Structure 1
């Protein structure tokens, strides 16, 4: 007695899509899908998962967002105060640390001094904004590792002040270990 078993490889009813076209065409489709998927995953890894904005645009976007909500505290006004008005501050340049005022809320530094951020004399408990100065084109090859600010409990803003032309893409490529609690914005001020 002969048993009737389905032969899935032959597929006489031609009801499975994989067997409706020649095998080499299906392999091409699978290969194209894998290449496309791999390309998308690589491009997602290359592009930063954060945004960098020019200072005025950053503040205007905050104001626009706050306009539609009834907040008693304005983050946009706070950023303007931190950037444009005199604050109790710390200056860290070339290993020299100077503190002005009590409970400093602003840290001024440059890219070459970032490795001194872990100085035990640095009063970082109230720092809300760090202003990092870029002085020349060679600084654009440096990295800004945000993990050095992990002990700054109140830090919210990373402000890049550049003396040379710079773009959002330049800054994004310089940032390492981004943390979503930080907002990053910049201004180009060539001092002309």
Structure 2
């Protein structure tokens, strides 16, 4: 039995899409509404996954290598940021799987897929600066991804908007440290 849902001629649901949603149960949450964009979105997400993983590694290194008078506080914040970036990576990987893709954790290609750079500096001010640059790159990347995805995948868009808010908070904190 199919139920027809019509609000007006302008607002009527696509009955073909609803019928198709009743089939292909192996696709889980992936319905015809995802259209031809799913693979492109998975590619964007895998590149963001690489970026988040590189950021985790950079922040972890900086956490352990930070030294100087203000280093204990900043080193602790680097660890907090590393853990938050790791949580972002987990969310992105989970979403890739939900979309029917495979998250790419390959260490051999992380840097070439990442939008952010790795950094092995030992100077505290340089560490803060390169992390601020990486956060700004992430902010720009997520803004562009959100625009590209638009209404093609609202679940992914909302996830990216949440991550973007965290990245903006990180950038504000890092900017404040540069001024100290």
- What TM-score, normalized by structure 1, do the two folds share? 0.20
Query: Quick check: which one's strand share is greater?
Result: 1
Higher helix share: 2
**Which has the higher relative contact order, 1 or 2, with Cα contacts under 8 A spaced 6 or more apart?**
2
TM-score, normalising length from structure 2?
Answer: 0.21
From the CA coordinates, give the structure whose radius of gyration is larger.
1
